[in-house]
Structure 1
Amino acid sequence: MGNSPYSSLGLGELYSDAFTGSSGMGQSGVSTANSFEINNLNPALWVRNKFTTLDFGVVGQYKKIESGSARQTNGGGNLGYVALSFPVASRWTLGVSIKPYSFTDFSNKSSKIIAGTPIYADYYNSGKGGINKVSITNAVQIGKYLSLGLESSYIFGNVRKASEAAIGDGTDYLASVNDRTTYNDIAFKGGAALRIPIKKNNKLNLNVGGAYSLGTRINAVNTVSFELTQSSFPVIEPDTLVNKRNGSVKLPAQYQVGFSFEWPYKLTLSADYSHESWTDYRSFGSSDPKNGLSDVDRMHLGVEYTPRFGSLSYFDNVRYRAGFSTGNTPYVVKENNIKDTNFSLGFTFPMGRGYQNFVSLSFIGGQRGVMGTGMIRERYGKVALGLTLRESWFQKQKID
């Protein structure tokens, strides 16, 4: 996803649980879903998918990073998600998915004089890697209005960080410390959604929903090694400072709640609030409550409009979206909390026979951080592309 200085903190930069459709609505939608696409913000909403549905998404990003007089532009892309849901029974839907959870990708350089000498040393810090999540989701309908869901996930991945110092006296000495941490464990997320009819004949619904991710400790294995080279040749044998030390990382609890007004197949207005308790995060082998991270509180607002569902005109069946999201991030730099604000637009285009399949596009633009001494500002643009394929599987054939 490109150079991200903030990904050096905590577990790296976090991916949103929102699929392409929700991304175009300010990452809102924990209370509302339709039968066309999978809504991954709330496990309880998977039950709205009455067809076997395959959702696939990719995401790309371009951004400008500024710190003082330094400027950098870069971009990147990654798999956003792959998800499959199918109805096991009329009131029970089962789903599986895989998506990134977080990524680490940063590189920076600084130069300082070695104490007591006139010689400069160049210091390099870099990190690569990420954590992924494979999930099984069960969603059930309870009565007419209430649905419940549970997402059970296996989290896995690794992150590699390196700190290097090169002496600038012509000797080409390079000292390197390499750190690799591998993660794996299980995590759970529950959700509930309530759809309350306000007008008869399904003309207007009030939706209320929420999702809660349990705080958990995930297993981690850490290895640290040291190397000293001259002109790329080892001066001494590489030394393993820490060899496969077992530990854990504490992930915080997270929740998102919201409500929406839904005129079915016409208009949806949604508002969500999300909270992530990153002050509870504990890094590998640390019980220090001063982890340099802060709690995250965000507001998400979104609207979706369909001009005339079922019309013979193609563009009357296109779904149009807009959204807004604002709040802080987990990152704290020089005792300043880093805030993030973004706007989004989205479209879903029907395709195929009977318009049963869809292509979705979402555009997100925003800013994270501000300019100042020792601060970093990122202005970014993201594009999310999703493909939804639906099929009526597991249905008994009938002859009239």
Structure 2
Amino acid sequence: MGEFYGDAYSDNTAMGGSGVSSGGGFQVNNLNPALWVRNRFTTLDVGLIGQYKSIASGNLRQGNAGGNLAYLSLSFPITTKWVIGGSLKPYSFVDYENTFTRSVAGSPAVAAYTVSGKGGVNKASLVNSFQIGRYVSLGLESSYFFGNIRRSSDVLLFVDGVPADYMVSLNERNTYSDVAFRAGGTVKIPIRKENKMNLNLGGTYSFSTSLNATKTTSFELTQGSFPVVDPDTLENNLSGSMQVPEQYQVGASLEWPFKMIISLDYSHQTWSKYRGFGNVNENLKDVNRLHFGMEYLPRFTSLNYFDLVRYRIGFSTGNTPYVLGKTKINDTNISLGFTFPMGRGYSNFLSVALVGGATGD
């Protein structure tokens, strides 16, 4: 399915992806559907993402940059204890192109191979979030996954360094669609009088789902961009499925309302149960991650603008689903973020999250 974006919006991204147990009423906390009920006013949250990667293997190094819509969400209260929300966000993305050459055995020709992939899977969600009494909240997210991923392998022959104009192409298109569910809950425990300090506990569970999938594979032989023979469809809308594994995340946080939040989360996803198209076992490993973050608001009642800015730092570490030989591929990052009040009466907010880290050695 490609690389995954994760569920965190800008605020929680800046806190190392933590925050499953706590949330404010200014922006949507998408880590836990139970926290949407904290938004007492209609809230529109829009996010953009940009990234730059430096990819290294031995002495080889390559840069890659890209950007996308990160999320679009809207929450609105039905009553003081019931909030409904909707969101649209990319769930995963595929974007790569690799080129390499090999000699053709028994001839002076050289073959240039180009392997590429584009596309991704999107996620449209409906959230219902409820306040149960003073200290407990529950939520359910119902999501519809949809999208397609296209992969191609092209081979171009060179003779004496000159392209022979013949290109062989194998193209594959996978289309996905289905529904999935995620449930969450939080508990707020006052540990100082007059709500001056709270211990928050929270957790979410994403149910395993089998995405419906269809695959179409075609073969082409061209000369100078013109077909030598008619394209041959090897597989046409072949039906199958892809098993996306369950995931859970639990966390705790200390909250000084309108002052500071310190949060620590743990997440686990059973990627060993993942099955690709045709029930293929991809030999992935379970993912375990720790997330830590802090948010600080200098003075909520101040007239000084920078006393109203919320400052965040975070840290996250864990393994990826991938293994090379017997070596696990780990991923660690640190983050920094700010939320700036904007507009008349400071009723709007601009959040910025900066994340830097390394995957692998």
Look up the match of 2:331: 340
How far did 1:312 drift? 1.1
43, 56, 71: which one aligns with 2:61: 71
Return the letter of the residue paired with 1:201: E
Q: 1:242 to 1:330 in 2, by over 3 A?
A: same
Q: For 1:220-260, what per-residue CA distance to the aligned partner results, in whole angstroms no more than 9, with x for missing partners?
A: 11100000112222111100000011111100101111000
Are 1:325 and 2:321 matched, yes or no?
A: no
Amino acid across the alignment from 2:171: N
Q: Pick from 232, 239, 243: which aligns with 2:225?
A: 232
Q: In structure 2, what is the equivalent of residue 60 of structure 1? A: 50
Q: Which moved more, 1:11-20 or 1:226-235?
A: 226-235
Distance 1:365 1:218 in 2: 32
Amino acid across the alignment from 1:314? Y
Say which is worse superposed, 333-342 or 316-325, in terms of deviation: 333-342
Provide the rounded CA distance (Å) in 2 between the counterparts of 1:171 and 1:46: 60
Give SS of 2:275's match: coil
Q: Share of identical aligned residues, percent?
A: 58
Letter in 2 for 1:61: Q
Deviating beyond 6 angstroms after TM superposition, the runs of 4 or more aligned structure 1 residues are none
* Structure 1, 347-356 or 243-252: larger mean CA deviation: 347-356
TM-score w.r.t. the length of structure 2 is 0.97
Query: C-alpha distance in 1, partners of 2:242/2:327?
Result: 24
Q: Deviations over 1:47-85 (max 9, x none)?
A: 011011000000111121111222211211100101000
Match for residue 376 of structure 1?
A: none
Are the structure 2 counterparts of residues 334 and 125 from structure 1 closer, same or farther at C-alpha, using a change threshold of 3 Å? farther
What's the secondary structure of 2:218's corresponding residue?
strand
Could you say which residue in structure 1 is the equivalent of 2:110? 120
Q: Which residue of 2 aligns with 1:292?
A: 283
**Matches for 1:202-351 after TM superposition, within 5 Å:** 202-286=195-279, 288-289=280-281, 291-351=282-342
Q: Which residue of 1 aligns with 2:129?
A: 139
Query: Which protein, 1 or 2, shows the higher relative CO under an 8 Å CA cutoff with sep ≥ 6?
Result: 1
Deviations 1:81-128 (A, max 9, x none): 010001101110000000000000111112222233343212211000
Shift of 1:331: 2.2
Name the SS for the 2:37 alignment partner. Answer: helix
SS in 2 for 1:172: strand
Task: Looking at secondary structure, tell me which structure has more strand per residue.
Answer: 2
The answer to whether the 8 A contact 2:156-2:164 is kept is no
2:87 is the counterpart of 1:97: yes
Deviations 1:369-400 (A, max 9, x none): 22xxxxxxxxxxxxxxxxxxxxxxxxxxxxxx
Q: Deviations along 1:240-295, whole A, 9 cap, x unmatched?
A: 00001111110010111100000000010000001111111111112x43x13211
Q: Which residue among 155, 165, 168 is the counterpart of 1:172?
A: 165
The residue number in structure 2 matching 1:190 is 183
Give unmatched runs, 5+ long, in structure 2: none
Kindly provide the amino acid, as one letter, of the partner of residue 242 in structure 1. E
Deviation at 1:174, TM superposition (A): 1.0
Secondary structure, counterpart of 1:315 in structure 2: helix
Residues 335 and 116 from structure 1, CA distance in 2 versus in 1: closer, same or farther, beyond 3 angstroms?
Answer: farther
Displacement after TM superposition at 1:335 (Å)? 3.7
SS at match of 2:23: coil
Shift in Å at residue 307 of structure 1? 0.5
Q: TM-score, normalised by structure 1?
A: 0.88
